[in-house]
Amino acid sequence: MTMSIKTYLTLGAATAILAACGGGTEPAETLEADAPPVEAEAASAELNPALVDVAEATYSIEKTHAFMTVTVGHGGGISQYRISFTDFDGALDFSPADPTSSSISFSINPMSVETNYPGDYKAGHADSGFESWNEDVSRNARWLNADEHPEITFVSTAVEKTGDLSGTVTGDLTLLGVTKPVTLDVTYNGLANPPWFGERDVIGFDASTTVLRSEFGMTAAIPSIGDEVTVEFSGEFLQDE
Amino acid sequence: MRHLAIAASLLAITLPAHANPTLEGVASALYELAKTHAFLTWTVKHNGISGYTVNFTDFDADLVFDAETPTNSQLSVSINPTALNTNYPDPAKKVDWEAELATDPRFMNAGEFPTIEFVSTAVEQTGEFEGTVTGDLTFLGVTAPVTLDVTYGGVANPPWFGQRDVIGFTASTTLVRSDFGQNSMAGIISDEVEIEFSGEFLQAAE
Each domain of chain A, given as residue ranges in start order, spans 48-109+151-239
Please give the pLDDT value at position B17: 52
Which pLDDT band, with edges at 50, 70 and 90, does A38 fall under? very low
> Residue A36 pLDDT > 60, yes or no?
no
Q: What is the mean pLDDT of residues A28-53?
A: 58
User: Rounded to whole angstroms, how far apart are CA atoms B16 and A223?
Assistant: 13
Contacts of B39 in chain A (CB under 8 A): 80-82, 116
B198 touches chain A (CB under 8 A): yes
Please provide the CATH number assigned to the domain covering A48-109+151-239: 2.40.128.110
User: Chain A neighbours among B 42-81 (CB < 8 Å)?
Assistant: 43, 46-53, 55, 57-58
Q: Are B151 and B170 contacting, i.e. CB atoms less than 8 angstroms apart? A: yes
Closest CA to A99 of A168, A40, A39, A200: A168
Please give the pLDDT value at position A14: 38
A80 touches chain B (CB under 8 A): yes
Q: Are A138 and A111 contacting, i.e. CB atoms less than 8 angstroms apart? A: yes
Q: What is the pLDDT of residues B80-104, one digit of tens each?
A: 999 999 999 999 999 999 999 999 9
Reported pTM = 0.86
Question: How many Cα atoms sit within 13 Å of A136 on the Cβ side?
Answer: 14
Q: Are B74 and B31 contacting, i.e. CB atoms less than 8 angstroms apart? A: no
Set out the domains of chain B in order of their start, with CATH numbers: 24-203 (2.40.128.110)
Please give the pLDDT value at position A33: 41
Chain mean position to CA B73: 15
Q: What is the pLDDT of residues B132-166, one digit of tens each?
A: 999 999 999 999 999 999 999 999 999 999 999 99
User: Rounded to whole angstroms, how far apart are CA atoms A204 and A183?
Assistant: 19
A236 touches chain B (CB under 8 A): yes
User: Chain A neighbours among B 102-161 (CB < 8 Å)?
Assistant: 153-156, 158
Q: What is the pLDDT of residues B182-191, one digit of tens each?
A: 999 999 999 9
Query: Between residues B28 and A20, which one has the greater pLDDT?
Result: B28
* Contacts of A28 by beta carbon, 8 Å cutoff, 6+ apart: none
Q: Pick the range with the lowest mean pLDDT from A40-44, A125-129, B60-64, B124-128.
A: A40-44
User: Rounded to whole angstroms, how far apart are CA atoms B137 and B118?
Assistant: 4
Q: What is the pLDDT of residues A71-127, one digit of tens each?
A: 999 999 999 999 999 999 999 999 999 999 999 999 999 999 999 999 899 998 989
Which of B31, B50, B88 is best to mutate for the A interface (most A CBs within 10 A)? B50
> Residue B175 pLDDT > 60, yes or no?
yes
Residue B71: φ, ψ to 5°: -70, -10
